[in-house]
Structure 1
Amino acid sequence: MTSDFCIIAEPEATPNVPDVRVEVCGTTPALIFEGTLTTEMQYISVTDMKKFSGGSVSKSGHDVLGILKRDHCFDDPFTLYYQLIDSLIESLTPPDAHIVLVCKHFYTFKFTFKTSSECSNVASFIRVRKEKISSQVQLMPAFNMNHNPLIPNLDDFSAGWQMFSLLSTLHKMNKRSQNMQFRISEVNKGFGVCQSYPERIIVPVTVTDDDLVQSSKFREGGRFPVVCFIHEAKQTALVRSSQPLLTSMNRTSPKDYHVLALSAPHNKNINVSYIVDTRSQADASSDKVRGGGYESEDYKPKFHHFQRPLERVSNMLESLVKFMKALKANHSSVESYLLAIESSKWLDHVRSLIIHASLMFQILNQEYTSVLVHGLEGRDTTLCSTSLTQIIADPECRRMRGFQELIHREWVLAGHPFEERLSSLFVQNKAKDSRKVAAPVFLLFLDAVWQFTRCFPTQFEFNEAFLIFLAESAYSRTFGNFLCNNECERISNAVFSKTMSIWQYLSIQSNCSRFYNGLYNPHKVKPLHFPLSPENIVPWTSLYLRRSNRHHKAMIERTCEQQRMNTQLIAQAEMLKKEKLRMQKILHEKMGDC
C-alpha cells in the first residue's frame, strides 16, 4: 500500500475504464455507484453513473444518484479535480484493487477496479497530474464552470466582484468616527508599495501618501498600519499591520510612528494606546535577530507593547489532523476520548483565539483606547483576531451581509494567502519557506465563530450550515474569492473576469435561503461576552464529522454534553458546599448567643 506523489515519468492518459465502483466514504446510508472512469488532464470523471448492483447495497432501495445530486451537488458526469486531492492510498491486492482519495473539501472516495493493472495505471496518472498542475491557478474548479453544478448560467460575473463598495465602507467609517476622518488612498496603485494589500486602501485624511510609503519600508512586506474598525461608542480604533523591521541600531521609523499615532490615537483621557503581538516572546525575539521583531522603546510612552500569543501557523495543520483522528477513532472510554482531544490542542487554539479577540474588545471598550494587532506578516493570526473582535463588538458583522463583507474586507482584500494555506487539509506540503506552509487558519476562525453561534443562538442571522458552506467552498476552490494569495495575483490570473464571486452566488435567494437562522433576534445588539471556561469550547462535529457515521457523531455529541453537565454539577456542588458551611457558621453563632 502506497500513498506518495513522487513519480518522475508521466504515463499516457488511461482509456475509459468501465465498471468502476465509487464509494463516498463515511456516509449513512452508504452512497455507492458505478460507471466508466476517465482520466482527463484536469480531473477524473465518471460517466454513465448508475446505482451499484452488487452486494447488500442493491437491497437498500435508496436513490443513490438523487442523494448525490441533491445533498452533495454531484452531477452526471461525476467530476473530481486533481487539485482537490490531498492524498492517495493505493491497494493492488486482488480481488479488491482500489485507490482511496482523501480530498480537501472533506470528502473521501474509494474507487474499486476489476483488475490490478487498471488500478495501478489510474493511480499513477493521478499522482503525476496532481504534481504537475498543483500550482496552476487557472486549472482550479472555479475556472471550469461547465463542470461546476453550483455555478448558474450567467453572462456576466463582474457584478459579483462589485457587491461590497469601498466607498460604502468609507462612509460607514466616517459616520462612526468623530475624532478622525478617512479617505481612499491609491498609493498602492500597481502594487508597488505592498503586494499583499489591495490597490485602494482607506486611511486617515491626516496621513499622506508619502507617510504610507515611508511606513511601508519599515514594515514586513510593506504592510503599514491600517484601521479596520472604529468602535463608535468609545471612539477607539482597531488597527492591523505586520511586524516592524528594525535597523541595526534598534531604532524605529519616525514616519511609521507618525502613521501609527494618527491611525491608533488614544482617548483624550488615556495617555497610551496598545500594540498587541500575536507571537510569543521567544518567537518575536527570534524574528528580531533576522531584522524584524517588535516595536522599540522609541514608541513609548504613547504605545505600550505586550505579547498575547496565538498558535504558530506552522503547527496548526498537525494539530487539526490529530484532532480529527481523535474524533473518528473508536475509544474504549470517555476518558481516552477526552485525552486524545486534549492532546491534539485544536480546541486550545480555538479558545486562545476567542480569549485574544475578547481582550482586544476589552481594550477598545473598557480601556478606552486604540489597539494595533500584528504578528510576523499580519496575514494570518492577525486577521483571525481583528475579524473575531469585530464579531464580538459589531452586531452588523453578525448579519448575513455584514459577515460576508467582513470576510471580503478582512480576509480577501487584506491578503490572507489562501493559495498557500488551503493547499492541503490533511497533509503538510513541502514548502522550502516555512511561511508558505499549508495551515487551517481560515478554518480556525470559522470554528471560533461557530462557538459563538452556539453560545448566542439568537444573535446571528446566519446558521452553522452557512459556516460549513464557506469552509467547503474555500477548500473546494469553487469560487474565485479563495484563489491566489492577494488581489495582485487575482488580477494576474484573470480571476475577476473568468470566475464567479461567492457573494454573487449567495445573492440568489434560492441559494441563500437555507443559511438563515430562524432564531435570530435583530434587536439584540449588545457586545458578546463569551463564557471562557473550557467546557464551553466543544468539537464542531457538524463540520469535522459530517461525512462520518451518524451514530458515531451522536456519540461524540453526547459525550461533550455529558462532560459539560458534569462540570456544571461539580460547580453547583461546590456552591452548595460553601452555602452549607456558611449556614453552619450562622447557626453556630446563634447557638453561641443563646
Structure 2
Amino acid sequence: MEFAELIRTGQAQAELLRGPEEPPLRGTLCITGHHLLLSPGPQATPDLWLLLLRNVDSIEKRVAGDSGTITLRCKDLRVLQLDIEGVEATLDIARSIEALSSLESVITSFPFFYRPKGLRLGDAWHFHPPECYYKRVARETNAWRLSEANEDFSLCPSYPRAVIVPRAVDDSALARSARFRQGGRFPVLSYYHAPSGTVLLRAGQPLTGPQKRRCSEDEDLLRAVLAGARPGARGFIVDTRSPQAAKQARMTGGGTEAKAAYPGWKRLHRLLETGRPLQESFVRLVEACGDLEQSMDRWLNRLESCRWLSHVKETLSTACLAAQSMEQEGACVLVHGAEGTDSTLLITSLAQLILDPLSRTMAGFQELIEREWVQAGHPFQLRCAHSAFSHARPKHEAPTFLLFLDCVWQLGRQFPLSLEFGEGMLLALFDHAYASPFGTFLCNNEKERCLCEVRTRTHSLWSGLSQPKEQRKLRNPLYVPNPLAIWPSAEPQSLRLWQGLFLRGTRPPEPSEVAWEKVWQIVTDQEKTEGSQPTDSASEAGP
C-alpha cells in the first residue's frame, strides 16, 4: 500500500484554532503519510505546525456555503479546529485524515520512518535489559537466577527472553508452571527489597478450572520463593479481582491458588477495575473537563460520578498494602489478576516507587517503566489504540497506563522533593504511549517487537528524552534524594484532579510553565552563588 493512495488532496488554505488562549494560525495545509502540516507563510513565524496523524482520536466535519470545518479530537486530549476554504477540499482532507490515522500495520507507522538528527538507531535500547536488574539482585542474594527458558518466547509470548526466578527451580519446572498460568505468565521476580529480604512477584491467574486442578511445579516454585527469603517468611497473594470474580473465573478455566496447596501463602482480594469500566470512567472525566458552561454543582457531581479518583484511590491503597507487607511485615508478595498484564503491573510498579529510592530517580523511573510495563507485556497497542474521544468502544481498550501515571503524579504532589522527575515527564509518557515518533510503546509484547524488528528499526523514547534540551522540562529542580519509603495518603481529601493533564486543553498553560521556569532559575542562580563562594577552609587560610 502506498500512502499517496490515501491522500485525496495535496493542499488547501486553512485557519487553525488550537485553543482559547492561543492565537489562530492561517496558512497552507498539507497532508503527508504521517503528518498534518500547516505553513503560516512568510508573513508569520516560519515554523511549521505539525500534528502526527496517529494522534487523531476522532474527526468531525461539517460544510456550509463554500467552506468547511474539521474538528480533530486528539489522543493527547487536545481539541483542534480547522476552517478550510472549499467544500471539496474539506471533505477530501477529512477522508484522508480518517484513513491515515487508523492504519493498523505497525511497520507502516511513523517510528519506522523517523530519523531525527543527533540520534542513532540502536541508541538506548540496551539501557534497561533484565540482565542489568538481575546484577543488582545478585549483589544482595544468591537465591535467584536469570533464566533464558523463554528465549524463543515459547513459554510466554508476553514475557521477555530472560526472567528472574528462584535458583532452586529448573527450567523444566518453569515450563510446567507456565502451562498452569494464564497466558503462560508463571511467577517471576519484579523487585527484591533488600532491607527486609523479601520479594515482589507477578504472574497470571492459575488455571485451576472447575475441577480445581493443581500443578506441583507451580506449588514448588512459590515454596522456593519463601525458602529463599528470610527464615520463617510468609507470603501474600494479592488478587486484584473480587472474590466473586475469581470464583466466576474458575468456571471458565481460571481460578485462584488453593490455600492447602500453597502453605505459607495467604490470599487477599483487592478489586481494581480494568477494561471497559476504566475506559468509560476516563471518557466521562474528559467530557466533564471539556464542558466550560456547567455550574459548580454540576461539575462536582460529574467529577464524582465518573469515579476516576476512586480508581486512583483503590490503586494507591492496594500498592500501599503490597509495600507494607514487604517493608513492615517482612512478607513476600505475589500480585496477579486474570491475565497479569494490567492491574498487576499497576501494583508492582507503584509498590516499587513507594519502597525503592532508585526507582524515584530519572534513570530508575525509566528502567521501571521499561521493565514493569514494556518488557512485562502490557499490551500498549491494544490498550492505547484510542483515547477518550473515539466513537468506537472496543473492549480491549483501557487507560491502565494513564492510571499509573496519575498515581505517580499524586505521589509527586504529596512528596514534592522525593521524585527526580516532574510533571513534564509524566505528560510526555502519556503523549508517547498513545502516539509517538519513537518505537518504545509499539506492539503488545516483546515477541511482537522482535517480529517487527522494533529495536533495530526505530528509535528508543529514552534516547529522545535524554537529550539536554528535554531534561529541563522533565526534571524536578527541587529534588532531594530520599532513602526512605514514601507512604502516600489515599484518603479522598488527599487526592486531586490532575489538572496539568485533564484541563490542559481548557486552561492557559502559561502560568504553570512560567512558575516551573522560575523555580529552575532560582535553583540555577543558587547553585551558581554557592559555586562562586569560597569554602570555609579557603577563606580562613593565610597567604
Q: Report the TM-score range of the alignment, normalised by the length of the smaller protein.
A: 0.7 to 0.9
Aligned to 1:312, which of 274, 278, 281?
A: 274
Deviation at 1:101, TM superposition (A): 1.1
Verify: 1:444 aligned to 2:365, yes or no.
Answer: no
Deviation at 1:428, TM superposition (A): 5.7
CA distance in 2, matches of 1:548, 1:247: 50
**Aligned counterpart, 1:71:** none
Aligned to 1:138, which of 107, 110, 114?
A: 107
- State the secondary structure of the residue aligned to 1:38: strand
**Aligned counterpart, 2:508:** 550
Alignment of 1:253-332 (within 5 A): 253-265=215-227, 270=232, 272-330=234-292, 332=294
Distance 1:552 1:309, change over 3 A: farther
Deviation at 1:386, TM superposition (A): 0.3
Aligned to 2:71, which of 100, 103, 122?
A: 100
Aligned to 2:463, which of 492, 500, 504?
A: 504
CA distance in 1, matches of 2:502, 2:403: 12
Give the letter aligned to residue 141 of structure 1.
F
CA distance in 2, matches of 1:110, 1:84: 14
Verify: 1:20 aligned to 2:14, yes or no.
Answer: yes
CA distance in 2, matches of 1:449, 1:44: 31
Verify: 1:43 aligned to 2:34, yes or no.
Answer: yes
Aligned to 2:121, which of 142, 154, 157?
A: 157
**Aligned counterpart, 1:3:** none
CA distance in 2, matches of 1:336, 1:430: 27
CA distance in 2, matches of 1:181, 1:242: 22
CA distance in 2, matches of 1:552, 1:511: 18
**Aligned counterpart, 2:420:** 461
Deviation at 1:194, TM superposition (A): 0.6
Give the letter aligned to residue 391 of structure 1.
L
- Identical pairs, percent: 32
CA distance in 1, matches of 2:20, 2:144: 52
- State the secondary structure of the residue aligned to 2:402: helix
Deviation at 1:16, TM superposition (A): 2.5
Q: How many residues are treated as equivalent by the alignment?
A: 509
Verify: 1:479 aligned to 2:448, yes or no.
Answer: no
Distance 1:48 1:276, change over 3 A: closer
Alpha-carbon contact 1:428-1:438 (below 8 Å) kept:
no
**Aligned counterpart, 2:494:** 536
Give the letter aligned to residue 214 of structure 2.
T
Mean Cα deviation higher: 462-471 or 403-412: 462-471
**Aligned counterpart, 1:495:** 454
Deviation at 1:260, TM superposition (A): 1.8
Verify: 1:29 aligned to 2:49, yes or no.
Answer: no
CA distance in 1, matches of 2:319, 2:80: 38
Alpha-carbon contact 2:274-2:398 (below 8 Å) kept:
no
| 1:115-149 deviation line (CA, Å, top 9, x unaligned) | 22221222223333444x2x111222222215xxx
Deviation at 1:185, TM superposition (A): 1.2
Distance 1:122 1:285, change over 3 A: same
- State the secondary structure of the residue aligned to 1:46: strand
Give the letter aligned to residue 200 of structure 2.
L
Alignment of 1:369-448 (within 5 A): 369-427=331-389, 434=395, 437-448=396-407
Gaps of 5+ in 2: 513-543
Deviation at 1:268, TM superposition (A): 5.3
Give the letter aligned to residue 489 of structure 2.
P
RMSD: 2.5
CA distance in 1, matches of 2:108, 2:52: 9
Distance 1:270 1:457, change over 3 A: same
**Aligned counterpart, 1:118:** 89
**Aligned counterpart, 2:181:** 219
Alpha-carbon contact 1:350-1:444 (below 8 Å) kept:
yes
Distance 1:19 1:159, change over 3 A: closer
Alignment of 1:106-255 (within 5 A): 106-131=77-102, 133=103, 135-145=104-114, 151-154=116-119, 156-177=120-141, 180-255=142-217
Deviation at 1:335, TM superposition (A): 3.0
- State the secondary structure of the residue aligned to 2:377: coil
Aligned to 1:339, which of 285, 301, 304?
A: 301
Distance 1:510 1:430, change over 3 A: closer
Distance 1:429 1:482, change over 3 A: farther
TM-score (norm. length: structure 1)? 0.81
| 1:513-547 deviation line (CA, Å, top 9, x unaligned) | 3322121111x211111122201111111112222
Distance 1:427 1:311, change over 3 A: same
Alpha-carbon contact 1:266-1:370 (below 8 Å) kept:
no
Deviation at 1:338, TM superposition (A): 1.6
CA distance in 1, matches of 2:389, 2:84: 26
Gaps of 5+ in 1: 1-9, 54-62, 67-74, 555-594
CA distance in 1, matches of 2:291, 2:100: 32
Distance 1:18 1:429, change over 3 A: closer
Distance 1:429 1:93, change over 3 A: closer
Alpha-carbon contact 1:451-1:537 (below 8 Å) kept:
yes
- State the secondary structure of the residue aligned to 2:237: strand
Mean Cα deviation higher: 395-404 or 122-131: 122-131
CA distance in 2, matches of 1:34, 1:492: 43
Distance 1:175 1:445, change over 3 A: same
- State the secondary structure of the residue aligned to 2:139: helix
Give the letter aligned to residue 170 of structure 1.
Y
CA distance in 1, matches of 2:125, 2:184: 25
Deviation at 1:11, TM superposition (A): 8.3
Distance 1:173 1:551, change over 3 A: closer
Give the letter aligned to residue 447 of structure 2.
C
- State the secondary structure of the residue aligned to 1:158: coil
Alpha-carbon contact 1:275-1:304 (below 8 Å) kept:
yes
Deviation at 1:438, TM superposition (A): 1.4
Larger Rg: 1
Distance 1:27 1:475, change over 3 A: farther
CA distance in 1, matches of 2:81, 2:295: 30
Alpha-carbon contact 1:98-1:119 (below 8 Å) kept:
yes
- State the secondary structure of the residue aligned to 2:40: strand
Mean Cα deviation higher: 466-475 or 168-177: 168-177
